[in-house]
Chain A
Amino acid sequence: MTTRRPIRLEALTIQFDERFQLNNINWQIEPDQHWVITGTNGAGKSALAAVLAGAGELVSGSLSGLPARVGVVSFEAQAELIEAERKKDDADILDVISEGTPVHEMLFKDCADPATARDLVARFKLEYLLDRAFRKLSTGESRKVMLIRALASKPDLLVLDEPFDGLDADTLAMLQQYLATLIETVPMVLVLNRFDEFPDFITDIAYVNQGELQLQVKRDDPRAYAELYQLLHLKTTQLAVPPADPETAIPALDPQQPLVRLKDVGIKYDDKALFSDLDWTINPNQHWQLSGPNGSGKTGLLSLITGDHPQCYVNDIFVFGFQRGSGESIWQIKQFIGYVSSALQWEYRVGTSLRNVIISGFYDSIGLYSKYSDRQRQIADQWLALLGMSHRADQPFNKLSYGDQRLLLIARAMVKHPPLLILDEPCLGLDDMNRQLVLALIEKICAGSETAVVYVNHHPEDRIEGIDNYLALNTPAPTQ
């Protein structure tokens, strides 16, 4: 094995076409590492792999240490090859009908390592199609040919984009085993969607989202690995948000009325206004982002809506059909609201089980103090499945990681399908991974049609797709 240099991508931005670009990629692949790139569809994982094969147009940053010989297998490369074959055909001016290039020629002409190629033909059981034209092969067959070409090219780097796709179980196992014999010889970068397909020799995982390399996780960090699994599960699972409980359904609201109407509202302490003269109307299924510097009163404003601020009784507040201060109870208000904040999480220092935390959302209580129905328990279990936490249903809440607690509280807030979901800095205090998790869950909720989301955040990078109304609070001028 020759001494090799690491491959280094620094602040790299690469343009693919008008529609797609990879941004600010910082990544280093050591010679003894084997990576998986993962992410959702369209996240840019194939693009990142293709960069290693020289694709894309450099916009800024640098890329160094790429070896000369990179063995590539991907749908794009496969499509290109097939396209090239077809062009050859069209360009043929002779009367003879061309069959195109036969497979044996594709494999052995200019082959760097014919012995390996022969060995692999046997392993893939492809002898029967050596004489066929490459472009006549099925997708699965041509993919196998691609694999053999790449593996028999004496590569210094292997880039395999979804190499296991469409392979039957036996072939898959064979290929995995074969790749395992190469780990001392060549670094590998695999693009894979499914965690259960990650070969054992993988040392590192790169998570790509929206054209950015957002997370890098070591295989031997079990906690980060588990979280990444959960994130991918949330991002890719087709599960819809579990249903509401018909028994304890929230009373219907007049769809013509706004959910919330604040008129000239303000909060005052000792004659000092936190904010004043504010109007705000939230209509059904309208998503809002609320922003403002610390101390501008964001949380105060929200607590006027939720009824947690005592001055809600001296302001002109109309919520869910009630004019505040007309004899309604806060539980009549709270039933329409799902609410998540760091303060709630701090309050929620209970040793109760994960399942009970979700069920408590039906009762708007912190802790569970009521007998619940089987149906509610089922719904809670569905939420746990959605979050990838089914196996931990009976564990105590206060033993969960901070990020998992946040996810669970969002599920608690959503369990009753409230017309209004308030997320007060839901990403506060979360690391990258957990932020991604929380945002993924919120996006799922925003995509639904029955809940208006009020999202409080001042980190622009945490923008959520689907939010198109903005309210900004400013630091109030000190009043005398």
Chain B
Amino acid sequence: MPNNYFNTLPLREQLEQLAKCRFMDISEFSDGVSALKGKKMVIIGCGAQGLNQGLNLRDSGLDVSYALRQAAITEKRQSWKNASENGFTVGTYEELVPTADIVLNLTPDKQHTSVVNAVMPLMKEGACLSYSHGFNIVEEGMKIREDLTVIMVAPKCPGSEVRAEYVRGFGVPTLIAVHEDNDPKGEGLALAKAYAVGTGGHKAGVLMSSFIAEVKSDLMGEQTILCGMLQTGSLLCFDKMIEEGIDAGYASKLIQFGWETVTEALKYGGVTNMLDRLSNPAKIKAFDLSEELKVIMRPLYNKHQDDIIDGTFSRTMMEDWANDDKNLLGWRAETAETAFEKTPAGDVEISEQEYFDHGILMVAMVKAGVELAFETMTAAGIVADSAYYESLHETPLIANTIARKKLYEMNATISDTAEYGCYLYNHACLPLLADFMKGIKSDVIGRGLPVDDNGVDNARLIEVNTALRSHPVEAIGAVLRGHMADMKKIV
């Protein structure tokens, strides 16, 4: 039975690990990829991260090949095609793992225990095992052979972005960590840094963190604001618009593309900029709604964070794994049957500004979710930089997936872990907001405020603007975006 690693640590060390996070200076990467030069890198799994990280590493002059499970090779599955069509050497664990200086485990988190158990005995003495997410180590307490170095290099973006940004000559923000229990030669940090350079991450900003901080913040972000809030918000806003007599096709489109449009504004100037896109009366309205939402939802955010910290979340999810994913699959089917999911976006023109003007409630939900997630994480001891990446930074990326194919696409793109947590959040949040939704009318979702009077009270407007700008997520956001500003103005 899995043994939660975090729970085995004394409180002092738990706090220290959670608070581990430092934005690294570009000068710390002046050695480039040299720590990995001439070493054999073998990637297990060739999916979203596996393929795209591998392409980048090879283009950075490193020696990359893929070890796939036998079935994937025999059946010529997509993962086999990904690797071989791109001209990589592909082999079985037995063929490739014994030659590896570093093994990159890029299989789904759920499979990590079985994959690591299969691979570890084949690894040569003193090699390195790397992850892009720490769940296996932190939540399942996987014990790695003492002679092996264990590191993490986690791009804070989907695999396709990891590649696209590299090709542009840039990279995506990346978190690196060394598992201190497994750093026998003290070379973990050098390897992780070289790996981050190989994927281009150093150009966009690297956080030096810990396995624990990465897992506890990553889980929190994905199940609350990133996926949970967007799913719950989609369902509630759609049903309300239908109830208010708005055309179903319009409602469906406003939501499907609305998340992407309003959160795009986050990328450039945070929550403040997103609200600045609204008229003065609409801004005050969105602010008031979000304050109300924050009061109602705060206990839920706290519960998610608590369950993540003490391991309740991972334990219940792993029970479902053991039960053939009964809950996950049931919830997935349930989502497919919702009215929002089943109503195609109408063939109507909606201008960019109209998504804001008619989506005041959606803006309020994003603001409430981002701020709550950020506040909850930092209250749990997670450093602001990390909390920023796991909340505000990733929201537009997830919103893009909804624009592509609604909730189905979002849940297909995110990991099973994120998906499971998203459903948990959704189930709790829907009833929680029932009363609140009773008071909602189409002026804040679907039709927009009446335009006859744009006047607002000066004092109130100043109050709202000050509150927006002084939230701590805005301060750290300005710093971190500054590292990419000027440079990355991709529209």
Partners in one complex: yes
Contacting B at CB under 8 A, from A343-387, are: 347, 349-352, 360, 363-370
Given A366-B168, A367-B489, A369-B487: A313 and B63 interface contact (C-beta under 8 Å)? no
Taking the complex as formed, is A327 at the interface, i.e. its CB lies under 8 A from any CB of chain B? yes
**B489 adjacent to A351 (CB under 8 Å):** yes
- Stretch binding the partner chain, chosen from B53-61, B131-139, B214-222, B460-468: B53-61
**Residue pair A314, B87 in contact (C-beta under 8 Å):** yes
Shortest beta-carbon distance, A368 to chain B, in Å?
A: 6
Interface status of A310 (Cβ within 8 A of chain B): yes
Is A349's CB under 8 angstroms from B490's CB? Answer: yes
Within 8 A of A (CB), among B165-206: 167-170, 203
| Cα(A365)–Cα(B170), bound, Å | 7
A398 touches B59 (CB 8 A): no
A269 touches B (CB below 8 Å): yes
Smallest CB separation, B178 vs chain A (Å):
25
Interface flag for B111 (CB, 8 Å) = no
With A and B bound together, what is the CA distance between A98 and B86 in angstroms?
89
Q: List B contacts of A313 (CB < 8 A).
A: 58, 87-88
Contact B85 A347 (CB under 8 A): no
Residue pair A369, B169 in contact (C-beta under 8 Å): yes
B86 surroundings in chain A (CB, below 8 A): 310-311
Instruction: With A327-B38, A351-B491 as known contacts, state yes or no: A365 contacts B61, CB within 8 Å.
Output: no
**A330 in the interface, Cβ–Cβ < 8 Å?**
yes
**Which residues from A are CB-within-8-Å of B55?**
310
CB closest chain-A residue, reference B62: A327
Contact check, B169 vs A366: say whether CB atoms are below 8 A apart: yes
Complex Cα gap A129–B130 (Å): 96
Q: Nearest Cβ in chain B — how far from A300, in angstroms?
A: 13
Q: In the complex, which residues of chain A have a beta carbon less than 8 angstroms from the beta carbon of B60?
A: 329-330
Q: How far is the CA of A269 from the CA of B167 in the complex (A)?
A: 21
Minimum C-beta distance from A396 to chain B (A): 9
A270 vs B60: C-alpha distance when bound (angstroms): 26
Q: Kindly report which residue of chain B lies nearest to residue A327, judged by CB atoms.
A: B61
The reply on A308 being an interface residue by CB < 8 A is: yes
Q: Which of B38, B59, B488, B491 contacts A329 (CB 8 A)?
A: B59
Q: Which of B76-134 contact A (CB under 8 A)?
A: 85-88
CA distance A328 to B33 in the complex (A): 11
Contact call A269/B169, Cβ cutoff below 8 A: no
- B143 at the A interface (CB under 8 A): no
- Set of chain B residues within 8 Å of A360, measured between Cβ atoms: 169
The answer to the question of B37 belonging to the interface, with a C-beta cut-off of 8 Å to chain A, is yes
Knowing A311-B86, A347-B168, say if A328 contacts B488 (CB, 8 Å).
no
B residues in contact with A398, CB < 8 Å: 491
Q: By the criterion CB–CB under 8 Å, are A327 and B167 in contact?
A: no
Distance to closest chain A CB from B57 (angstroms): 10
Number of A-B contacts (CB under 8 A): 66
Q: Mark A307-334, 1 if CB is under 8 A from B, else 0.
A: 1101111100000000000011111100
- B487: which of A307, A314, A368 is its contact (CB, 8 Å)? A368
Number of B interface residues at 8 Å Cβ cutoff, please give it: 25
Residues of the A chain whose Cβ atoms lie less than 8 Å from the Cβ of B489 = 350-352, 367
Q: Which of B55, B63, B167 counts the most chain A CB atoms within 10 A? A: B167
Q: Mark B283-327, 1 if CB is under 8 A from A, else 0.
A: 000000000000000000000000000000000000000000000
Taking CB as reference atom, which chain A residue is nearest B171?
A: A369
Given known A-B contacts A307-B59, A313-B58, A329-B61, A367 and B169 have beta carbons under 8 A apart: yes
Known interface pairs A369-B203, A369-B488; A328-B61 also in contact (CB < 8 Å): yes
Instruction: Return the CB mask of A391-403 against B: 1 if under 8 Å, else 0.
Output: 0000000100000
Cβ-defined contact, A367 with B490, below 8 A: yes
In B450-491, the 8 Å CB interface with A consists of: 486-491
Residues of B near A314 (CB, < 8 A) are: 87
Q: How far is the CA of A395 from the CA of B29 in the complex (A)?
A: 34
Interface residues in B364-409 (C-beta closer than 8 Å to A): none
The docked-state distance in angstroms from the alpha carbon of A349 to that of B490 is 7
When C-beta atoms are compared, the residue in chain A nearest to B168 turns out to be A366
Most buried by B among A310, A349, A352, A364: A310
Closest to B169 in A: A365
> Chain B's nearest CB lies how many Å from the CB of A394?
13
Q: Give Cα distance in the complex from A311 to B167, angstroms.
A: 16
In chain B, positions 34-88 with a C-beta closer than 8 Å to chain A are: 37-38, 55, 58-63, 85-88
Q: Return the chain B residue nearest A315 by Cβ.
A: B87
Would you call B63 and A311 a contact (CB within 8 A)?
Answer: no
Inter-chain contacts of A332 with B (CB < 8 A): 61
| Nearest neighbor of A311 in chain B, beta-carbon distance | B87
A367 with B87: CB separation less than 8 A: no
Q: Are A364 and B87 in contact (CB under 8 A)?
A: no
Bound form: Cα–Cα A312–B85 in Å: 11
Residues of A within 8 A of B59 (CB): 307, 329-330
Cα distance A363–B170 in the bound complex, in angstroms: 10
Choice from B38, B88, B167 contacting A308 with Cβ under 8 Å: B167
Q: Residues of B contacting A351 with CB < 8 Å? A: 489-491
Please name all residues of chain B whose beta carbon is closer than 8 Å to the beta carbon of A270 when the two chains form the complex: 85
Which residue of chain B has the shortest Cβ distance to A353 in the bound complex? B489
Q: Is the CB of B170 within 8 A of A367?
A: yes
CB distance from A125 to the nearest CB of B (A): 61
Q: How far is the CB of B226 from chain A (nearest CB, A)?
A: 25
Shortest beta-carbon distance, B461 to chain A, in Å? Answer: 29
In the complex, residue of chain A having the shortest beta-carbon distance to the beta carbon of B491: A351
Q: For residue B53, give the distance in angstroms from its CB to the closest CB of chain A.
A: 13
Chain A residues near B37 (CB-CB < 8 A): 327
Q: How far is the CA of A440 from the CA of B62 in the complex (A)?
A: 42
- Point out the residues of chain B lying under 8 angstroms from A367, CB to CB: 168-170, 487-490
Cβ contacts under 8 Å, B491 to chain A:
349-351, 398
Closest to B170 in A: A369
Alpha-carbon separation in the docked complex, A157 to B489 (Å): 56
Residues of A within 8 A of B62 (CB): 327
Closest B residue, CB atoms, query A330: B59
In the bound complex, how far is the Cα of B59 from the Cα of A310, in angstroms?
9
Q: How close is B31's CB to chain A, nearest CB, in angstroms?
A: 14
Instruction: Note all chain A residues with C-beta closer than 8 A to B168.
Output: 347, 365-367
For A269, A330, A349, which residue has the most chain B Cβ atoms within 10 angstroms? A330
Q: How far is the CA of A328 from the CA of B38 in the complex (A)?
A: 11
Contacts of B87 on A, CB cut-off 8 Å? 310-314
What separation, in Å, do the CA atoms of A444 and B107 have in the docked complex? 53
Task: Find the residue from B55, B61, B88 having the highest chain A CB count within 10 A.
Answer: B61
Q: Which residues of A contact B58 (CB under 8 A)?
A: 313
Expressed in whole angstroms, the minimum distance between the Cβ of A95 and any Cβ of chain B is: 86
Give the interface centre of A307, A364, A368 by most chain B CB atoms within 10 Å.
A368
| Distance of A314 Cα from B85 Cα, bound (Å) | 10
Bound Cα distance A353, B37 (Å): 37
State in angstroms the CA–CA spacing of A307 and B486 once bound together.
28
Contacting residues, chain A, for B488 (C-beta < 8 A): 367, 369
Chain B minimum-CB-distance residue to A370 = B487
Q: How far is the CB of B91 from chain A (nearest CB, A)?
A: 15
In-complex Cβ contact of B169 among A311, A327, A328, A364 (8 A): A364
* Bound: A11/B296 CA distance, A: 79
Q: How far, in angstroms, from A332 to B203 measured CA to CA in the complex?
A: 17
Instruction: List B contacts of A366 (CB < 8 A).
Output: 167-170
Nearest-Cβ distance from residue B472 to partner chain A, whole angstroms = 27
Give B478 Cβ to nearest chain A Cβ, in Å.
19
- Please, could you name 22 A-B residue pairs with CB atoms under 8 Å apart, sorted by A? A310-B86, A310-B87, A311-B87, A314-B87, A327-B38, A327-B62, A328-B61, A330-B59, A350-B489, A351-B489, A360-B169, A363-B169, A365-B168, A365-B170, A366-B169, A366-B170, A367-B169, A367-B488, A367-B489, A368-B486, A369-B170, A369-B488
- A311-B87, A314-B87, A367-B488 are known contacts; what are 17 more A-B pairs with Cβ within 8 Å? A270-B85, A327-B62, A328-B61, A329-B33, A330-B59, A331-B169, A347-B168, A350-B491, A351-B489, A360-B169, A365-B169, A366-B167, A367-B170, A367-B490, A368-B486, A369-B169, A398-B491
Closest 6 CB pairs between A and B? A365-B169, A310-B86, A329-B61, A314-B87, A369-B487, A366-B168
Interface residues, chain B, with chain A CB atoms under 8 Å away? 33, 37-38, 55, 58-63, 85-88, 167-170, 203, 486-491
